[in-house]
Every structure is written in C-alpha cells, then in structure tokens.
Amino acid sequence: MTDEPVQSMLTAKPVGEATEVEISIDMIKRGLIAAPALIAVCGVIWGANGAWSSAYAIAIVLVNFALSAAIIAVGSRISYAALLGGVLFGYLFRLALIFLAVWVVKDTSWISMPAVGVSIIVTHFGLLVWELKYVAISLAYPGLKPQSNK
C-alpha cells in the first residue's frame, strides 16, 4: 500500500482566497469601535490604572487576531501541512506571547491585573460572538456576508 494520496494532499496548496484576513480585519475594526466603552467601564471600576490596563489588554487581543490571520494566510499559500502546522504551533506561540505580554507588566505601577483579565476575556469572546452576525457560513460566500444594497 502506498502513501502517495496522503502525501500529495499534505503538500498540495489550498485553493481560494484566505478569508481569515478579511474576517480578522473586520474584527479588529469592531474591536476599535468597542474599545472606548470597555476602557471606560474598567476606568470607572478600577480607576485610571484600570483604563490603561484595559487599553493594553485590548491591544494584546487585537494583535493576537492579526497574528492568527497572518499565520493562516502564510501557511495556506504554502501547503496544507504548513497550514496545519501553522495553526497548531501558531496557537501555542500566540498563547505564549499573551502570557509574556501580561507577565512583563504584572508588577508595574500602572497595571490592574483584574482589569487586564476581564478585558482580555471580554474582548476575545465579545468580538468572536459579534463577528458571528457578519460571517457567511456558506460555501458560496466564505468569509464575510456580501453587503446588501437595501
């Protein structure tokens, strides 16, 4: 028995556009729209340090989404194996970057760790749920739903 079909599938290049870049850019735009509200809430609860901490956490999340899309877009141009490896190891790499970004500032005077934690969780979850409204879950329109002129 030969492994040629499996090998050719792993080395084949995916066909089509990388829609994750379009979706990530859309999520980053929505994140920038929602950021002032979350920063204000954290500022009311934890003061100025909470507001700065929330802004820092939101920046971490938006960079995380951009890195995710970039890793997938690059991997998809190479092969399925590169795409799969990029997704797996990119996830671990991005988790490490989030940990490092929080660990570096954890003892600074301007940081409020509860505000950072809440902002990271709310921003990740909130943007993913919000984006569900705009993503077309269809083979005809992979990525964002087409804009209607109504």
Choose between 111 and 12: higher pLDDT.
111
How far is residue 29 from each of residues 65, 70, 145, measured CA to CA in Å? 11, 16, 16
* Range with lowest mean pLDDT among 16-25, 39-48, 99-108: 16-25
Q: Where does residue 47 fall: left (phi above 0), alpha (psi -120 to 50 degrees), or beta otherwise?
A: left
How confident is the model at residue 16, as a pLDDT? 63
Condensed to tens digits (0 to 9), the pLDDT of residues 33-59 reads: 999 999 999 999 999 999 999 999 999
Domain ranges in the chain?
31-133
pLDDT score at 38? 96
The answer to whether 98 and 120 are in contact (CB under 8 A) is yes
- For 2, the token pair is 């030969």
- Cα–chain center distance at 8: 30
**Of the ranges 7-11, 84-88, 101-105, which one carries the lowest mean pLDDT score?**
7-11
Predicted confidence at residue 83, as pLDDT, reads 86
